[in-house]
Amino acid sequence: MLCQHRHSALAVGLVGLSVLTLPVSPTYGQRPALPHQKDADVDPVSRGKVTGGIYDSVTYKPIAGATVSIRVDGIFESGKTVTTTDEAGFYKGEAEIGRTVKRTNAFLAVAGVAAGGVLPGTFSATSRTDVDQLILRVTAPGYKPFVGIVPCRRIYPAIFEVEMESVLLTPQSQPGASIVVPGWGAARFVELRVEPPIALPGQEVEVTMRIACPPPGKDQSGKEHPFKGFVDLEVGKQVELKQRTLEGDGIYAFRGKFKAPKLPRESVLLINQVSGSAIFPFSFSMSDHITNDFLFQVILNEGMRKEATQRAEAYRLYADGDTAGAAARFAALSRSASGLTFDHVMAGRLHNDLRQPAAAVDFFRSAFIKDKNGIFATYYSRALLDSDQPQRVTNECSTLLAGVKKPDELPRTLPSDFLVNLGTAYLRLGQIDKARETLDLLKKHWAPSQVDSIFDAAVRTAEADSRLKDSPQDAPALAERARGLRDQAQWAKAAQAYEAAQLAAPGDPVLLRDLAYTRLHLASGLPNKEELERAITAAESLTITKDGGKDTPVKDFLPWHILGILRYARAEQLRSQGSSELLKAYDDAHEAFDGALRNGRLAPPKRPWNAAGFHVVMAGFGSPDAAVDFDLRQSLLILRERPDDALALTELGKGLLDAGLPSAADAALALALRVVPDAIEPCYLRAVIAGVRQLWDEAISGLRDVVERAPNHSRARLLLAEYLEKNGDKEGAKAQRTAHSQLFRYKAPL
């Protein structure tokens, strides 16, 4: 078991959302609220809706009457943070999830009254959601309780609501722990049919969508939950399937009709992947969406029916998982005189899946030639890069930018990924100036969050390398090269580059700070105390600037983020020494993360609110590092008061893993396991760490332990399958993938 009794140092990589499963203690988290004065700029201070579903892990039936408590400020309190599930297993509670503010312009309001109406701009609102996970406690008679971190499935800042992932409770009589399963839903698509599947313009078409799910039931007020079915057509038309019947075994059929749309003038065939949806309190299992698309075709005349039928058969093979068969059929269609862009793209994608890059290039090229659309150019350029043909990318795809001199002249349909591919091709060819021009175009046309940070860092690294060829001791170039490698997460190379830069510019505070920060990401762990203290002193000086003779905090995210990580590293050293200065170190780290979060948000443009005002909507943060800082800050607030809080320790460990800090993350997870030795999620995360270090026996042993104690731990099963396959156990890997897929399949009767 890879749990608390394993003391080997583990290297870590980035991991996804984590879930901790703990036994419920009668006194757990019942101490008074933390003595923390909330700051509306960085703390979630406004209560929003929190929704989700609770289900039986064996039957998949909803559990009515389960009690769901949402932890706020480290405690499970009473009030609206405690709620119960209705007949559908659906709950709706409240918790601080961000900040929402509504404003009224008094002058415009008075002027509007005088004018006999409401003037534009009278009302405005700002909604900002901060959380991407919450800690829940779920109990129900006859079931094993759940206490743990539950990721948000969807975030709705405009209505100030978060939907949580489903929690599966295990009956007391059954083996295994209760757990949250990301992506799992109580509803599954069983079938989607369109009759006729090939139609003429204006012909009446009937859609039948079959869904397996529990009865929708009534909500807490006694009202029936909404239960409607829809299909969305690619042409932008949504069709409600108004006829609903229960066909037995929990299968509901929705039926509706629409008329086949007319074709655009420039098209000979309209292809729609008709996807079904429904309005009711159940989420769909995410793994079901891909294979339940239906290929609906509109033909101009009967002469086109033969190829349309062949295309439908090819798509059926694709949907059934016969990649080779589908690839051959789409390839044949692509080579025909009347082959469609859709055929070329599907043939290219499928040959990519078959690891036949040369064939994929040919098919994507056909799509690009037929329709010089930015999306097809992206497919084609990516395939060329994967085939190590950067020269063809620059020769054939750069024509899309012909005549473009300003960012606003870029084609609207041109994805940012295309420019990244083009710029990457220039880098591989050593055309650094061209790569820089492409990056500048990208930055001017797209929001910062849409600019590929790895490509940005690669360009800066290449520019620095070019300068160093002529002047190997150029200190600024050495520093820029180190930063570029750091921003590409090439930590070992970055550490070496920073060491070289320090030799050229000894005592430079930026280099002192960044070298220590980089070393924290290596498996070797923390820098020595003296080095860390020098780095913290340097980092502190870089968060202050002189403004009119006064010290003013810098308005930049990165200096505060690095300072927060370095100060946390100091706290970790003090904790390991049992120092009385630990609480002050936590406060110092907390202060730095405050500064990071004040500068780590990214506000989108204003969105319409109503005829009289506007609504500014913000979801999350401007970078993944800022989201990590938020989670670290929240856990430190709790650990300052309760150092043995297992949930906060696991949340801290998960945040440190996301930040790529190996020693600190491992220490936090080890502490969580000391408090609750049979906690499942810390063991899972340590198995992930062992896998990153390629300690396969240790990783496989840990993952086997996790799936034995929590059979529904879907992520552990997939990772175990991957590791078993790497070690030659194909049958074992197949068994784990089968167990994983069964968790997401329809189980009859419900």
Closest CA to 276 of 260, 292, 261: 292
Q: What percent of the chain has pLDDT over 90?
A: 55
Provide mean pLDDT across the span 502-522: 94
pLDDT of residue 287: 59
Provide mean pLDDT across the span 490-514: 95
Tokens of 65: 């009457």
pLDDT of residue 352: 93
Provide mean pLDDT across the span 705-711: 95
d(CA 576, CA 496): 28
| 295: β partners | 273
- Helical residues (DSSP H) of 505-556, grouped into ranges: 509-519, 529-541
Closest CA to 315 of 337, 286, 338, 340: 340
Provide mean pLDDT across the span 611-618: 56
Mean pLDDT estimate for the chain: 85
pLDDT of residue 292: 53
Burial class (CB in 10 A: 0-12, 13-18, 19+), 60: buried
pLDDT of residue 78: 83
pLDDT band (50, 70, 90) for residue 11: very low
CB distance 523 to 694 below 8 Å: no
Provide mean pLDDT across the span 119-132: 77
- Of 238-247, 304-313, 423-432, 557-566, the poorest mean pLDDT is in 238-247
More confident residue, 606 or 43: 43
Provide mean pLDDT across the span 325-344: 92
Asked if residue 157 has pLDDT above 50, the reply is yes
CB distance 356 to 386 below 8 Å: no
- Of 65-79, 150-164, 620-634, the poorest mean pLDDT is in 620-634
**What number of other Cβ atoms are within 10 A of residue 247's Cβ?**
11
pLDDT of residue 266: 45
Burial class (CB in 10 A: 0-12, 13-18, 19+), 79: exposed
Asked if residue 748 has pLDDT above 80, the reply is no
pLDDT of residue 293: 67
pLDDT band (50, 70, 90) for residue 7: very low
Asked if residue 235 has pLDDT above 70, the reply is no
pLDDT band (50, 70, 90) for residue 267: low
Asked if residue 46 has pLDDT above 50, the reply is yes
Asked if residue 351 has pLDDT above 50, the reply is yes
Task: Tell me the per-residue pLDDT of 472-486, one tens digit each, with 9 for 90 and over.
Answer: 999 999 999 999 999
Residues shown for the chain? 750
Q: What is this structure's pTM?
A: 0.85
pLDDT band (50, 70, 90) for residue 18: very low
| Per-residue three-class SS string for 724-737 | HHHCCCHHHHHHHH
pLDDT of residue 462: 97
Q: What percent of the chain has pLDDT over 70?
A: 84
pLDDT of residue 371: 80
Tokens of 597: 């979060």
DSSP 485: H
pLDDT of residue 25: 38
More confident residue, 380 or 278: 380
